[in-house]
Amino acid sequence: MNEEQANWAEYLELAAVDDPVKPCLDADRTVTEAQAYAVLKQRCLLRPADPVVGFKGALTNSKVQATFGATQPVLGLLFESGDETGSSIKAEDYKRGMIETELGFCVGASISEPLHHVEQLSAVIASTCLMVEFVDLAFSEFPPSLADLIMHNAAGKAFVRGESQPFNAAAEDALAGLKLRLEMMQSNLHEAYASDVLGDQRQGLLWMINAAIARGFTIEPGHYFMTGSVGEVHALQVGTYALTCQGYETLTFTVV
């Protein structure tokens, strides 16, 4: 972390409070992926009262990657302040709000070393659940560069969680065939397979764990990994929504 990156992290934190539009780098400035993650990590240090409670995957399916002209996924952070489980989402808090349906995995054991294959996941993941993320794509330039997306925490703003179920052998075996369905006012918005995420939820989870470790983040029991968008991304609109998936309790949420 150099002085310029530290200053940029502080600037982004201030901008997040004062301006709903996320500032992007000038076209003549080059920031590497490693530098962008260093800025994101510095932003964590500027939030001592708002701990990281998990991690989020972004650009983990081909459709979303195409929108941003990217060829790789991005790791983001879940902050405690973003957990809106049980609360209504306020549309007025978003300038270009979007809804993403996802699966979440709760960590059951500390992870300090990279995992080498998906068969290791059952030893460190305790449970799984339905999750919904609310992002705000109000960037000063769209699509933003990969570096801008990383530094702005992949546009993450809030999330909600459904009821958890044990991540046992049956739950793991069922992942490939899971289909998530999102409804609004009983109207179907989309149905999509969980395998949208890097072709396999387990591969997406493995990538996220190793990416978090590589970036120097601590992974503790109780942290959630939200693996990325399954199906289409929808504009945030006022209404009552229901996310369903066989074997999981329905996750309902309201946008007001």
**Cβ contacts of 84 within 8 Å, gap of 6 or more:** 134, 158, 159, 160
Mean pLDDT of 29-50: 93
CA distance 58 to 135: 11
Question: At 235, is the secondary structure helix, strand, or coil?
Answer: strand
Dump pLDDT digits (tens) for 123-162: 999 999 999 999 999 999 998 999 999 999 999 999 999 9
Per-residue confidence at 1, pLDDT binned at 50, 70, 90? Answer: low
DSSP 115-170: --SGGGGGGTEEEEEEEEEEEE--BSSSSPPHHHHHHTGGGEEEEEE---EE--HH
107 has pLDDT over 70: yes
Distances (CA, A) of 161 to 94, 121, 131, 173: 20, 20, 5, 22
**What pLDDT, on a 0 to 100 scale, did the predictor assign at position 20?**
81
Domains in the chain, CATH or no CATH each: 3-255 (3.90.850.10)
112 has pLDDT over 90: yes
Residue type, 230: V
Select the more confidently predicted residue: 185 or 131: 131
200 has pLDDT over 90: yes
72 has pLDDT over 90: no
How many CB atoms lie under 10 A from the CB of residue 4?
12
**What pLDDT, on a 0 to 100 scale, did the predictor assign at position 70?**
82
Per-residue confidence at 105, pLDDT binned at 50, 70, 90? Answer: very high
**What pLDDT, on a 0 to 100 scale, did the predictor assign at position 58?**
95
C-beta of residue 205 within 8 angstroms of C-beta of residue 226: no
How many CB atoms lie under 10 A from the CB of residue 57?
25
Percent of the chain with pLDDT over 90: 80
End-to-end CA, the chain: 40
198 has pLDDT over 70: yes
**What pLDDT, on a 0 to 100 scale, did the predictor assign at position 252?**
98
Select the more confidently predicted residue: 105 or 16: 105
Q: pTM score, two decimals? A: 0.95
Per-residue confidence at 220, pLDDT binned at 50, 70, 90? Answer: very high
Q: Which of 135, 136, 138, 152 is nearest to 37 (CA)?
A: 152
62 has pLDDT over 80: no
CA distance 64 to 231: 10
Select the more confidently predicted residue: 35 or 14: 35
C-beta of residue 128 within 8 angstroms of C-beta of residue 105: yes
255 has pLDDT over 70: yes
59 has pLDDT over 70: yes
CA distance 84 to 65: 27
Q: Which of 176, 171, 144 is nearest to 59 (CA)?
A: 144
214 has pLDDT over 90: yes
**What pLDDT, on a 0 to 100 scale, did the predictor assign at position 228?**
95
